[in-house]
Chains A and B, each alone.
Chain A
Protein backbone atom coordinates (compact mmCIF):
# COMPACT_ATOMS: atom_id res chain seq x y z
CA UNK A 1 0.00 0.00 0.00
CA UNK A 2 1.46 3.35 -1.04
CA UNK A 3 1.46 6.58 0.93
CA UNK A 4 -1.97 7.95 1.80
CA UNK A 5 -3.23 10.49 -0.76
CA UNK A 6 -6.84 11.01 0.22
CA UNK A 7 -8.38 10.64 3.68
CA UNK A 8 -12.05 10.26 4.49
CA UNK A 9 -12.84 11.69 7.92
CA UNK A 10 -15.54 9.52 9.51
CA UNK A 11 -16.55 12.13 12.05
CA UNK A 12 -18.05 15.58 12.52
CA UNK A 13 -17.53 18.66 14.66
CA UNK A 14 -14.22 20.08 15.82
CA UNK A 15 -12.25 16.84 15.44
CA UNK A 16 -13.25 16.55 11.77
CA UNK A 17 -11.99 20.11 11.26
CA UNK A 18 -8.78 19.28 13.14
CA UNK A 19 -8.06 16.27 10.90
CA UNK A 20 -8.89 18.16 7.68
CA UNK A 21 -6.39 20.85 8.75
CA UNK A 22 -3.65 18.26 9.26
CA UNK A 23 -4.41 16.73 5.85
CA UNK A 24 -4.32 20.12 4.12
CA UNK A 25 -0.92 20.96 5.60
CA UNK A 26 0.41 17.57 4.51
CA UNK A 27 -0.93 18.00 0.96
CA UNK A 28 -3.31 15.08 1.47
CA UNK A 29 -6.84 15.44 0.05
CA UNK A 30 -9.74 15.24 2.50
CA UNK A 31 -13.28 13.93 2.22
CA UNK A 32 -15.88 15.01 4.78
CA UNK A 33 -18.98 12.98 5.53
CA UNK A 34 -22.03 14.65 6.97
CA UNK A 35 -25.58 14.04 8.02
CA UNK A 36 -28.44 16.11 6.66
CA UNK A 37 -28.40 18.08 9.93
CA UNK A 38 -24.74 18.99 9.41
CA UNK A 39 -24.75 20.35 5.87
CA UNK A 40 -23.71 23.83 7.08
CA UNK A 41 -21.05 22.51 9.43
CA UNK A 42 -17.53 23.86 9.02
CA UNK A 43 -15.95 20.49 8.25
CA UNK A 44 -18.17 20.19 5.16
CA UNK A 45 -16.95 23.58 3.94
CA UNK A 46 -13.26 22.99 4.63
CA UNK A 47 -12.86 19.52 3.15
CA UNK A 48 -11.93 19.06 -0.50
CA UNK A 49 -15.04 16.91 -1.00
CA UNK A 50 -18.10 16.10 1.07
CA UNK A 51 -20.58 13.23 0.95
CA UNK A 52 -23.94 13.15 2.69
CA UNK A 53 -24.19 9.80 4.50
CA UNK A 54 -27.62 9.89 6.06
CA UNK A 55 -30.25 11.67 8.11
CA UNK A 56 -29.65 13.52 11.39
CA UNK A 57 -29.65 10.47 13.62
CA UNK A 58 -26.04 9.29 14.13
CA UNK A 59 -26.91 5.65 13.89
CA UNK A 60 -28.25 6.21 10.36
CA UNK A 61 -25.41 8.47 9.24
CA UNK A 62 -22.10 8.70 11.13
CA UNK A 63 -22.59 5.18 12.50
CA UNK A 64 -23.96 3.66 9.30
CA UNK A 65 -20.97 1.57 8.30
CA UNK A 66 -21.95 0.74 4.68
CA UNK A 67 -22.53 4.43 3.90
CA UNK A 68 -19.23 5.51 5.44
CA UNK A 69 -17.22 2.83 3.65
CA UNK A 70 -19.10 3.48 0.38
CA UNK A 71 -18.40 7.20 0.69
CA UNK A 72 -14.67 6.37 0.86
CA UNK A 73 -14.93 4.07 -2.14
CA UNK A 74 -16.90 6.41 -4.41
CA UNK A 75 -14.57 9.33 -3.68
CA UNK A 76 -11.44 7.24 -4.17
CA UNK A 77 -10.15 7.81 -0.64
CA UNK A 78 -7.39 5.42 0.37
CA UNK A 79 -7.62 5.89 4.15
CA UNK A 80 -10.15 6.63 6.87
CA UNK A 81 -9.50 8.66 10.00
CA UNK A 82 -12.16 7.86 12.61
CA UNK A 83 -11.53 10.78 15.00
CA UNK A 84 -12.88 10.00 18.48
CA UNK A 85 -16.21 8.37 19.36
CA UNK A 86 -18.22 6.84 16.50
CA UNK A 87 -16.12 4.10 14.83
CA UNK A 88 -12.82 5.02 16.48
CA UNK A 89 -12.77 2.02 18.82
CA UNK A 90 -14.67 -0.52 16.74
CA UNK A 91 -12.61 -3.57 15.74
CA UNK A 92 -15.24 -4.55 13.16
CA UNK A 93 -15.01 -1.14 11.46
CA UNK A 94 -11.22 -1.41 11.38
CA UNK A 95 -11.56 -4.86 9.80
CA UNK A 96 -14.12 -3.59 7.28
CA UNK A 97 -11.66 -0.88 6.22
CA UNK A 98 -8.93 -3.45 5.70
CA UNK A 99 -11.29 -5.69 3.72
CA UNK A 100 -12.03 -2.75 1.40
CA UNK A 101 -8.35 -1.84 0.98
CA UNK A 102 -8.77 1.30 3.04
CA UNK A 103 -6.03 2.19 5.49
CA UNK A 104 -7.48 2.71 8.98
CA UNK A 105 -5.61 5.61 10.60
CA UNK A 106 -5.32 4.20 14.07
CA UNK A 107 -4.20 1.09 15.93
CA UNK A 108 -4.62 -2.53 14.79
CA UNK A 109 -8.06 -4.12 15.31
CA UNK A 110 -6.53 -6.64 17.73
CA UNK A 111 -5.32 -3.86 20.07
CA UNK A 112 -8.71 -2.10 19.97
CA UNK A 113 -10.38 -5.39 20.82
CA UNK A 114 -8.02 -6.28 23.69
CA UNK A 115 -8.29 -2.86 25.30
CA UNK A 116 -12.03 -2.58 24.59
CA UNK A 117 -12.74 -5.51 26.88
CA UNK A 118 -11.97 -3.88 30.22
CA UNK A 119 -11.52 -7.13 32.18
CA UNK A 120 -9.25 -8.57 29.52
CA UNK A 121 -7.28 -5.32 29.32
CA UNK A 122 -6.73 -5.46 33.07
CA UNK A 123 -5.33 -8.97 32.81
CA UNK A 124 -3.04 -8.06 29.92
CA UNK A 125 -1.53 -4.96 31.52
CA UNK A 126 -1.15 -6.68 34.89
CA UNK A 127 1.05 -9.27 33.17
CA UNK A 128 3.08 -6.35 31.78
CA UNK A 129 3.70 -5.17 35.38
CA UNK A 130 1.41 -2.17 35.12
CA UNK A 131 -0.24 -1.49 38.50
CA UNK A 132 -3.98 -2.16 38.45
CA UNK A 133 -6.67 -1.26 40.96
CA UNK A 134 -6.95 -4.06 43.56
CA UNK A 135 -9.82 -6.27 42.52
CA UNK A 136 -10.99 -9.61 41.27
CA UNK A 137 -9.01 -11.20 38.49
CA UNK A 138 -11.11 -11.14 35.36
CA UNK A 139 -14.87 -11.36 35.06
CA UNK A 140 -17.07 -12.63 37.85
CA UNK A 141 -18.38 -16.15 37.25
CA UNK A 142 -19.28 -17.26 40.75
CA UNK A 143 -21.11 -15.40 43.52
CA UNK A 144 -19.35 -17.13 46.45
CA UNK A 145 -15.99 -16.31 44.96
CA UNK A 146 -17.12 -12.71 44.38
CA UNK A 147 -18.09 -12.46 48.07
CA UNK A 148 -14.68 -13.74 49.21
CA UNK A 149 -12.78 -11.42 46.87
CA UNK A 150 -14.89 -8.44 47.94
CA UNK A 151 -14.25 -8.95 51.64
CA UNK A 152 -10.54 -9.36 50.91
CA UNK A 153 -10.22 -6.05 49.06
CA UNK A 154 -12.70 -4.17 51.26
CA UNK A 155 -15.56 -1.75 50.68
CA UNK A 156 -16.55 0.55 49.06
CA UNK A 157 -15.96 -1.12 45.73
CA UNK A 158 -17.11 -0.73 42.14
CA UNK A 159 -18.79 -3.26 39.88
CA UNK A 160 -17.91 -2.44 36.30
CA UNK A 161 -19.28 -3.70 33.01
CA UNK A 162 -16.53 -5.30 30.98
CA UNK A 163 -17.85 -3.71 27.81
CA UNK A 164 -18.40 -0.30 29.47
CA UNK A 165 -16.10 2.69 29.57
CA UNK A 166 -16.11 6.47 29.72
CA UNK A 167 -17.95 6.35 33.04
CA UNK A 168 -20.77 4.11 31.82
CA UNK A 169 -21.73 0.76 33.35
CA UNK A 170 -20.38 1.39 36.86
CA UNK A 171 -22.11 0.61 40.20
CA UNK A 172 -20.83 1.50 43.63
CA UNK A 173 -21.28 -0.97 46.51
CA UNK A 174 -20.72 0.30 50.06
CA UNK A 175 -21.67 -2.72 52.20
CA UNK A 176 -21.17 -6.52 51.90
CA UNK A 177 -24.94 -7.02 52.26
CA UNK A 178 -25.58 -5.14 49.05
CA UNK A 179 -23.03 -7.01 46.97
CA UNK A 180 -25.03 -9.90 45.52
CA UNK A 181 -28.06 -7.80 44.62
CA UNK A 182 -25.79 -5.21 43.01
CA UNK A 183 -23.94 -7.90 41.05
CA UNK A 184 -27.17 -9.25 39.62
CA UNK A 185 -28.50 -5.80 38.70
CA UNK A 186 -25.16 -4.82 37.14
CA UNK A 187 -25.11 -7.99 35.03
CA UNK A 188 -28.65 -7.36 33.78
CA UNK A 189 -27.88 -3.71 33.09
CA UNK A 190 -24.66 -4.51 31.27
CA UNK A 191 -26.51 -7.03 29.12
CA UNK A 192 -29.14 -4.43 28.23
CA UNK A 193 -26.70 -1.57 27.62
CA UNK A 194 -23.77 -3.31 25.95
CA UNK A 195 -25.16 -6.70 24.89
CA UNK A 196 -22.63 -8.45 27.12
CA UNK A 197 -23.38 -9.16 30.77
CA UNK A 198 -19.76 -9.61 31.91
CA UNK A 199 -18.86 -7.58 35.00
CA UNK A 200 -15.80 -7.33 37.25
CA UNK A 201 -14.99 -5.73 40.60
CA UNK A 202 -12.52 -3.08 41.61
CA UNK A 203 -11.68 -1.34 44.84
CA UNK A 204 -12.99 2.23 44.84
CA UNK A 205 -10.07 4.62 45.04
CA UNK A 206 -11.42 7.65 46.87
CA UNK A 207 -10.06 11.16 46.57
CA UNK A 208 -8.46 10.16 43.29
CA UNK A 209 -7.13 12.21 40.43
CA UNK A 210 -7.52 11.22 36.81
CA UNK A 211 -4.13 11.42 35.14
CA UNK A 212 -3.47 9.96 31.69
CA UNK A 213 -0.36 9.38 29.62
CA UNK A 214 -0.18 9.99 25.87
CA UNK A 215 1.73 7.37 23.93
CA UNK A 216 2.79 7.20 20.32
CA UNK A 217 3.99 4.01 18.65
CA UNK A 218 5.00 3.10 15.12
CA UNK A 219 4.58 -0.16 13.20
CA UNK A 220 8.21 -1.11 13.80
CA UNK A 221 7.98 -1.58 17.57
CA UNK A 222 9.09 1.88 18.69
CA UNK A 223 6.89 3.43 21.39
CA UNK A 224 7.34 6.66 23.35
CA UNK A 225 5.31 8.52 25.92
CA UNK A 226 4.67 12.25 25.58
CA UNK A 227 4.02 13.09 29.20
CA UNK A 228 0.81 13.14 31.16
CA UNK A 229 -2.42 15.13 31.20
CA UNK A 230 -4.29 15.99 34.36
CA UNK A 231 -8.02 15.44 33.67
CA UNK A 232 -9.63 15.53 37.13
CA UNK A 233 -11.83 18.52 36.39
CA UNK A 234 -14.94 16.62 35.29
CA UNK A 235 -18.62 17.48 35.52
CA UNK A 236 -21.13 15.46 37.54
CA UNK A 237 -21.60 13.13 34.56
CA UNK A 238 -17.89 12.26 34.63
CA UNK A 239 -17.20 14.17 31.45
CA UNK A 240 -13.93 16.03 31.31
CA UNK A 241 -14.14 19.83 31.33
CA UNK A 242 -10.58 21.05 31.82
CA UNK A 243 -7.38 19.22 31.00
CA UNK A 244 -3.85 20.37 31.59
CA UNK A 245 -0.28 19.27 31.08
CA UNK A 246 1.73 18.60 33.09
CA UNK A 247 -0.16 17.37 36.17
CA UNK A 248 0.52 19.99 38.89
CA UNK A 249 1.22 17.47 41.69
CA UNK A 250 3.31 14.67 40.14
CA UNK A 251 6.92 14.32 41.20
CA UNK A 252 9.52 13.35 38.59
CA UNK A 253 9.83 9.80 39.90
CA UNK A 254 6.08 9.07 39.64
CA UNK A 255 5.90 10.79 36.27
CA UNK A 256 8.71 8.64 34.95
CA UNK A 257 7.18 5.45 36.37
CA UNK A 258 3.79 6.26 34.84
CA UNK A 259 5.33 6.97 31.45
CA UNK A 260 7.22 3.67 31.48
CA UNK A 261 4.10 1.78 32.61
CA UNK A 262 2.07 3.37 29.80
CA UNK A 263 4.62 2.25 27.22
CA UNK A 264 4.55 -1.31 28.64
CA UNK A 265 0.74 -1.35 28.42
CA UNK A 266 0.81 -0.20 24.79
CA UNK A 267 3.50 -2.70 23.84
CA UNK A 268 1.58 -5.51 25.55
CA UNK A 269 -1.16 -5.23 22.91
CA UNK A 270 1.12 -4.60 19.93
CA UNK A 271 -0.06 -1.00 19.71
CA UNK A 272 0.71 1.52 17.01
CA UNK A 273 -0.63 5.09 16.34
CA UNK A 274 -1.61 7.55 19.11
CA UNK A 275 -3.17 6.19 22.28
CA UNK A 276 -3.81 7.14 25.88
CA UNK A 277 -3.45 5.16 29.09
CA UNK A 278 -5.72 6.46 31.84
CA UNK A 279 -4.61 6.12 35.44
CA UNK A 280 -6.14 6.91 38.79
CA UNK A 281 -3.68 8.54 41.18
CA UNK A 282 -4.51 8.39 44.89
CA UNK A 283 -3.50 10.85 47.60
CA UNK A 284 -0.25 8.89 48.27
CA UNK A 285 0.74 9.17 44.59
CA UNK A 286 0.04 5.50 43.92
CA UNK A 287 -1.15 5.09 40.35
CA UNK A 288 -3.44 2.43 38.94
CA UNK A 289 -4.32 1.52 35.34
CA UNK A 290 -7.92 2.38 34.51
CA UNK A 291 -8.25 1.87 30.77
CA UNK A 292 -6.61 2.58 27.46
CA UNK A 293 -8.25 4.81 24.86
CA UNK A 294 -7.18 3.42 21.52
CA UNK A 295 -7.73 6.64 19.54
CA UNK A 296 -6.88 10.32 19.37
CA UNK A 297 -8.48 12.12 22.30
CA UNK A 298 -10.38 15.38 22.65
CA UNK A 299 -7.63 16.78 24.88
CA UNK A 300 -4.67 15.91 22.62
CA UNK A 301 -3.88 19.63 22.00
CA UNK A 302 -2.52 20.18 25.52
CA UNK A 303 0.13 17.56 24.85
CA UNK A 304 0.79 19.07 21.42
CA UNK A 305 1.33 22.44 23.10
CA UNK A 306 3.89 21.16 25.60
CA UNK A 307 5.85 18.75 23.38
CA UNK A 308 5.59 20.76 20.14
CA UNK A 309 4.33 17.87 17.98
CA UNK A 310 1.31 17.42 15.72
CA UNK A 311 -0.27 14.14 16.81
CA UNK A 312 -2.70 13.88 13.89
CA UNK A 313 0.05 14.33 11.31
CA UNK A 314 2.08 11.72 13.18
CA UNK A 315 -0.89 9.33 13.03
CA UNK A 316 -0.85 9.67 9.24
CA UNK A 317 2.91 9.12 9.12
CA UNK A 318 2.59 6.01 11.29
CA UNK A 319 -0.26 4.69 9.12
CA UNK A 320 2.07 5.16 6.14
CA UNK A 321 4.56 2.86 7.84
CA UNK A 322 7.06 5.57 8.68
CA UNK A 323 9.27 5.23 11.73
CA UNK A 324 8.87 7.65 14.64
CA UNK A 325 11.25 10.53 13.84
CA UNK A 326 12.40 10.82 17.49
CA UNK A 327 13.11 8.69 20.52
CA UNK A 328 12.14 9.02 24.18
CA UNK A 329 15.13 11.20 25.08
CA UNK A 330 14.07 13.78 22.45
CA UNK A 331 10.71 14.33 24.17
CA UNK A 332 11.10 17.30 26.50
CA UNK A 333 7.77 18.81 27.53
CA UNK A 334 8.01 22.55 27.96
CA UNK A 335 5.80 25.03 29.85
CA UNK A 336 2.20 24.48 30.83
CA UNK A 337 -0.94 24.01 28.70
CA UNK A 338 -4.62 24.09 29.65
CA UNK A 339 -7.70 23.21 27.63
CA UNK A 340 -11.26 24.28 28.42
CA UNK A 341 -14.05 22.44 26.64
CA UNK A 342 -16.63 25.03 25.68
CA UNK A 343 -19.94 23.21 25.46
CA UNK A 344 -23.48 24.28 24.58
CA UNK A 345 -24.79 23.50 28.06
CA UNK A 346 -26.73 25.79 30.33
CA UNK A 347 -25.06 25.96 33.78
CA UNK A 348 -28.12 27.72 35.23
CA UNK A 349 -30.39 24.93 34.12
CA UNK A 350 -28.69 21.72 35.30
CA UNK A 351 -26.33 21.79 32.28
CA UNK A 352 -29.12 21.02 29.84
CA UNK A 353 -27.95 21.04 26.22
CA UNK A 354 -28.66 24.32 24.46
CA UNK A 355 -29.06 24.29 20.68
CA UNK A 356 -29.97 27.12 18.35
CA UNK A 357 -28.41 29.84 16.24
CA UNK A 358 -25.23 31.54 17.40
CA UNK A 359 -26.14 35.19 16.86
CA UNK A 360 -22.75 36.51 17.90
CA UNK A 361 -19.40 34.79 18.18
CA UNK A 362 -15.99 36.13 19.13
CA UNK A 363 -13.21 33.69 19.88
CA UNK A 364 -10.26 35.02 21.89
CA UNK A 365 -6.81 35.34 20.34
CA UNK A 366 -3.35 36.61 21.08
CA UNK A 367 -0.14 34.87 22.14
CA UNK A 368 -0.26 31.25 23.24
CA UNK A 369 -3.90 30.71 22.25
CA UNK A 370 -5.37 27.96 20.07
CA UNK A 371 -9.03 27.43 19.13
CA UNK A 372 -10.28 24.10 17.78
CA UNK A 373 -13.91 24.50 16.81
CA UNK A 374 -16.44 23.87 14.06
CA UNK A 375 -18.93 26.68 14.70
CA UNK A 376 -19.13 30.22 13.36
CA UNK A 377 -21.38 33.25 13.74
CA UNK A 378 -24.94 32.63 12.42
CA UNK A 379 -24.34 28.88 12.53
CA UNK A 380 -27.22 26.87 13.97
CA UNK A 381 -26.03 24.25 16.43
CA UNK A 382 -28.03 21.08 15.73
CA UNK A 383 -29.61 19.36 18.73
CA UNK A 384 -28.63 15.83 17.71
CA UNK A 385 -24.99 15.60 18.72
CA UNK A 386 -22.36 16.14 21.37
CA UNK A 387 -22.60 19.61 22.98
CA UNK A 388 -18.90 20.39 22.42
CA UNK A 389 -18.69 23.69 20.51
CA UNK A 390 -14.98 24.07 20.62
CA UNK A 391 -11.83 23.86 22.69
CA UNK A 392 -9.89 26.78 24.04
CA UNK A 393 -6.24 25.82 24.51
CA UNK A 394 -3.62 28.08 26.01
CA UNK A 395 0.09 27.70 26.65
CA UNK A 396 2.13 29.55 29.26
CA UNK A 397 5.70 29.37 30.54
CA UNK A 398 4.31 28.07 33.82
CA UNK A 399 0.95 27.08 35.30
CA UNK A 400 0.18 30.53 36.69
CA UNK A 401 0.70 32.19 33.34
CA UNK A 402 -1.43 29.54 31.65
CA UNK A 403 -4.31 30.01 34.13
CA UNK A 404 -4.19 33.79 33.82
CA UNK A 405 -4.08 33.53 30.05
CA UNK A 406 -7.09 31.21 30.05
CA UNK A 407 -9.02 33.62 32.27
CA UNK A 408 -8.12 36.44 29.89
CA UNK A 409 -9.40 34.29 26.97
CA UNK A 410 -12.65 33.46 28.77
CA UNK A 411 -13.24 37.17 29.33
CA UNK A 412 -12.79 37.80 25.58
CA UNK A 413 -14.99 34.89 24.51
CA UNK A 414 -18.44 35.99 23.36
CA UNK A 415 -21.10 33.48 22.40
CA UNK A 416 -24.64 34.81 22.05
CA UNK A 417 -27.86 33.08 21.05
CA UNK A 418 -27.10 29.85 22.89
CA UNK A 419 -25.96 29.09 26.44
CA UNK A 420 -22.44 27.86 27.15
CA UNK A 421 -20.53 26.59 30.17
CA UNK A 422 -17.86 29.33 29.87
CA UNK A 423 -18.78 31.01 33.16
CA UNK A 424 -18.24 27.73 35.04
CA UNK A 425 -14.74 27.47 33.58
CA UNK A 426 -13.92 30.95 34.88
CA UNK A 427 -15.26 30.03 38.30
CA UNK A 428 -13.06 26.91 38.44
CA UNK A 429 -9.93 28.71 37.25
CA UNK A 430 -10.39 31.45 39.84
CA UNK A 431 -10.89 29.02 42.70
CA UNK A 432 -8.04 29.06 45.23
CA UNK A 433 -7.87 25.25 45.42
CA UNK A 434 -7.69 24.90 41.65
CA UNK A 435 -4.92 27.48 41.50
CA UNK A 436 -3.01 25.58 44.17
CA UNK A 437 -3.47 22.36 42.20
CA UNK A 438 -5.43 20.81 45.03
CA UNK A 439 -8.37 18.99 43.53
CA UNK A 440 -9.77 15.54 42.78
CA UNK A 441 -12.35 14.22 40.32
CA UNK A 442 -15.11 15.48 42.66
CA UNK A 443 -14.05 19.13 42.43
CA UNK A 444 -16.76 20.36 40.05
CA UNK A 445 -19.53 18.32 41.66
CA UNK A 446 -18.61 19.82 45.04
CA UNK A 447 -18.22 23.29 43.56
CA UNK A 448 -21.74 23.18 42.11
CA UNK A 449 -23.20 21.63 45.27
CA UNK A 450 -21.62 24.32 47.47
CA UNK A 451 -22.53 27.07 45.02
CA UNK A 452 -18.93 28.14 44.62
CA UNK A 453 -17.64 28.19 48.21
CA UNK A 454 -15.48 25.15 49.13
CA UNK A 455 -14.70 22.61 46.47
CA UNK A 456 -11.73 20.30 47.00
Chain B
Protein backbone atom coordinates (compact mmCIF):
# COMPACT_ATOMS: atom_id res chain seq x y z
CA UNK B 1 0.00 0.00 0.00
CA UNK B 2 1.62 3.25 -0.97
CA UNK B 3 1.19 6.77 0.34
CA UNK B 4 -1.15 7.78 -2.51
CA UNK B 5 -3.64 5.10 -1.54
CA UNK B 6 -3.59 6.28 2.07
CA UNK B 7 -4.13 9.86 0.93
CA UNK B 8 -7.07 8.78 -1.21
CA UNK B 9 -8.54 6.94 1.76
CA UNK B 10 -8.21 10.02 3.94
CA UNK B 11 -10.01 12.13 1.35
CA UNK B 12 -12.70 9.49 0.99
CA UNK B 13 -13.21 9.44 4.73
CA UNK B 14 -13.37 13.23 4.92
CA UNK B 15 -16.12 13.34 2.33
CA UNK B 16 -18.16 10.53 3.89
CA UNK B 17 -20.28 10.21 6.98
CA UNK B 18 -18.22 7.21 8.11
CA UNK B 19 -16.34 7.85 11.32
CA UNK B 20 -13.82 5.03 11.21
CA UNK B 21 -12.23 3.02 8.42
CA UNK B 22 -9.94 0.03 8.51
CA UNK B 23 -8.35 -1.33 5.33
CA UNK B 24 -5.98 -4.26 4.88
CA UNK B 25 -4.07 -4.94 1.70
CA UNK B 26 -0.86 -6.78 0.87
CA UNK B 27 -0.23 -7.62 4.48
CA UNK B 28 -0.48 -4.02 5.65
CA UNK B 29 -3.37 -2.33 7.30
CA UNK B 30 -4.36 1.24 8.09
CA UNK B 31 -6.95 2.45 10.50
CA UNK B 32 -8.34 5.94 9.96
CA UNK B 33 -10.55 7.83 12.35
CA UNK B 34 -12.44 10.98 11.49
CA UNK B 35 -12.33 14.31 13.26
CA UNK B 36 -9.83 13.19 15.84
CA UNK B 37 -7.97 15.86 17.71
CA UNK B 38 -4.35 16.31 16.79
CA UNK B 39 -1.94 14.91 19.35
CA UNK B 40 -1.02 17.39 22.06
CA UNK B 41 1.66 19.95 21.32
CA UNK B 42 4.56 18.09 22.99
CA UNK B 43 4.07 15.11 20.67
CA UNK B 44 4.64 17.26 17.60
CA UNK B 45 8.03 16.58 16.06
CA UNK B 46 8.47 20.11 14.77
CA UNK B 47 10.00 21.51 17.94
CA UNK B 48 12.98 19.24 17.49
CA UNK B 49 13.01 19.17 13.73
CA UNK B 50 16.10 21.26 13.24
CA UNK B 51 18.10 18.51 14.90
CA UNK B 52 18.60 15.12 13.42
CA UNK B 53 17.23 13.75 16.66
CA UNK B 54 14.73 15.19 19.03
CA UNK B 55 15.47 16.18 22.57
CA UNK B 56 14.36 13.71 25.21
CA UNK B 57 11.04 14.33 26.86
CA UNK B 58 10.93 15.38 30.46
CA UNK B 59 8.71 12.37 31.25
CA UNK B 60 9.63 9.56 33.66
CA UNK B 61 10.33 7.06 30.86
CA UNK B 62 11.72 9.51 28.34
CA UNK B 63 10.68 8.93 24.77
CA UNK B 64 13.29 9.96 22.22
CA UNK B 65 12.17 10.99 18.76
CA UNK B 66 14.17 10.54 15.61
CA UNK B 67 13.09 12.81 12.75
CA UNK B 68 14.13 13.13 9.12
CA UNK B 69 16.79 15.81 8.69
CA UNK B 70 16.38 15.78 4.93
CA UNK B 71 13.94 14.93 2.18
CA UNK B 72 14.39 11.53 0.60
CA UNK B 73 13.60 7.82 0.69
CA UNK B 74 13.76 6.25 4.12
CA UNK B 75 15.37 2.85 4.71
CA UNK B 76 15.35 0.88 7.96
CA UNK B 77 18.64 -0.33 9.27
CA UNK B 78 18.87 -4.08 8.64
CA UNK B 79 16.82 -6.03 11.14
CA UNK B 80 15.66 -3.04 13.15
CA UNK B 81 12.41 -3.84 14.94
CA UNK B 82 10.43 -2.61 17.93
CA UNK B 83 11.82 -3.93 21.18
CA UNK B 84 15.41 -3.98 19.96
CA UNK B 85 18.07 -2.25 22.00
CA UNK B 86 20.24 0.35 20.29
CA UNK B 87 23.46 1.91 21.50
CA UNK B 88 24.24 5.64 21.33
CA UNK B 89 25.70 6.39 17.89
CA UNK B 90 24.25 3.27 16.30
CA UNK B 91 22.98 3.59 12.73
CA UNK B 92 19.22 3.10 12.87
CA UNK B 93 18.34 3.96 9.28
CA UNK B 94 19.27 5.67 6.05
CA UNK B 95 17.78 8.45 3.98
CA UNK B 96 18.53 8.27 0.30
CA UNK B 97 18.76 11.76 -1.12
CA UNK B 98 20.06 12.47 -4.62
CA UNK B 99 21.60 8.99 -4.80
CA UNK B 100 23.52 9.52 -1.57
CA UNK B 101 22.86 7.39 1.48
CA UNK B 102 22.74 9.51 4.62
CA UNK B 103 23.05 7.63 7.88
CA UNK B 104 20.57 8.17 10.64
CA UNK B 105 22.12 7.58 14.05
CA UNK B 106 20.68 7.41 17.55
CA UNK B 107 22.22 9.97 19.85
CA UNK B 108 21.02 8.09 22.92
CA UNK B 109 20.77 4.43 23.76
CA UNK B 110 17.42 2.78 24.31
CA UNK B 111 14.76 0.41 23.13
CA UNK B 112 13.01 0.90 19.81
CA UNK B 113 9.46 1.80 20.75
CA UNK B 114 7.82 2.33 17.40
CA UNK B 115 8.80 2.51 13.74
CA UNK B 116 6.48 5.05 12.17
CA UNK B 117 7.57 4.99 8.56
CA UNK B 118 7.68 2.02 6.25
CA UNK B 119 10.94 0.96 4.69
CA UNK B 120 11.27 2.60 1.24
CA UNK B 121 8.79 5.40 1.94
CA UNK B 122 9.35 9.00 0.87
CA UNK B 123 9.88 11.29 3.86
CA UNK B 124 9.79 15.04 4.17
CA UNK B 125 11.95 17.27 6.35
CA UNK B 126 11.13 16.98 10.04
CA UNK B 127 8.97 13.88 9.63
CA UNK B 128 8.91 11.64 12.72
CA UNK B 129 10.53 8.31 11.81
CA UNK B 130 10.79 6.35 15.03
CA UNK B 131 10.68 6.62 18.79
CA UNK B 132 13.10 5.15 21.32
CA UNK B 133 12.42 4.50 24.96
CA UNK B 134 15.48 5.95 26.55
CA UNK B 135 17.58 3.91 28.91
CA UNK B 136 17.69 5.18 32.34
Contact = CB atoms under 8 A, between A and B. Distances in A.
Interface of A: 36, 51-55, 61, 66-71, 73-75, 100
A44 B88 CA distance: 37
A70 B70 contact: yes
A70 B122 CA distance: 9
Given A51-B124, A66-B98, A74-B122, A36 B46 contact: yes
A52 B49 CA distance: 11
B98 A69 contact: yes
A453 to B, nearest CB: 50
B92 interface: no
A259 B33 CA distance: 60
B50 interface: yes
A66 B70 contact: yes
B86 to A, nearest CB: 26
Interface residues of B, number: 16
Contact of A75 (B46, B49, B122, B126): B122
A52 B72 CA distance: 11
B73 A36 contact: no
Contacts of B49: 36, 55
B46 A74 contact: no
B107 interface: no
Contacts of B98: 66, 69-70, 73, 100
A73 B124 CA distance: 12
A52 B125 contact: yes
Contact of A54 (B73, B97, B125): B125
B127 interface: yes
Contacts of A36: 46, 49, 125-126
B71 interface: yes
Contacts of B124: 51-53, 71
B117 to A, nearest CB: 12
B50 A67 contact: no
Contacts of B97: 66-67, 70
A97 to B, nearest CB: 11
Given A70-B72, A70-B97, A55 B122 contact: no
A51 B72 CA distance: 10
Nearest to B74: A74
Contact of A67 (B46, B70, B73, B100): B70
A74 B125 contact: no
A61 B49 CA distance: 12
A69 B73 CA distance: 12
A76 to B, nearest CB: 9
15 contacts: A51-B124, A51-B125, A52-B125, A52-B127, A53-B125, A55-B50, A55-B125, A66-B97, A70-B70, A70-B71, A71-B71, A74-B122, A74-B123, A75-B122, A100-B98
A78 to B, nearest CB: 16
Contacts of B125: 36, 51-55, 61, 67
Nearest to A48: B7
Contacts of A74: 71-73, 122-123
A73 B73 CA distance: 9
A63 to B, nearest CB: 13
Contacts of B46: 36
A70 B73 CA distance: 8
B51 to A, nearest CB: 10
For the complex of A and B, 3 pairs with smallest distance between CB atoms: A74-B122, A70-B71, A52-B124
Which of B72, B97, B124, B126 is packed against the most chain A CB atoms within 10 Å?
A: B124
Given A53-B124, A55-B126, A67-B97, 5 more contacts: A51-B71, A51-B124, A67-B71, A69-B98, A75-B122
B103 to A, nearest CB: 15
Contacts of A52: 71, 124-127
A133 to B, nearest CB: 41
Which of B70, B98, B125, B127 is packed against the most chain A CB atoms within 10 Å?
A: B125
Contacts of B50: 55
Interface string B72-102: 1100000000000000000000000110100
B92 to A, nearest CB: 20
Contacts of B122: 74-75
Interface string B38-72: 00000000100110000000000000000000111
Contacts of A71: 71, 124
B9 to A, nearest CB: 15
A108 B123 CA distance: 31
A67 B73 CA distance: 11
B45 to A, nearest CB: 10
Which of B70, B71, B73 is packed against the most chain A CB atoms within 10 Å?
A: B71
Nearest to B70: A67
A272 B54 CA distance: 46
A51 B125 CA distance: 8
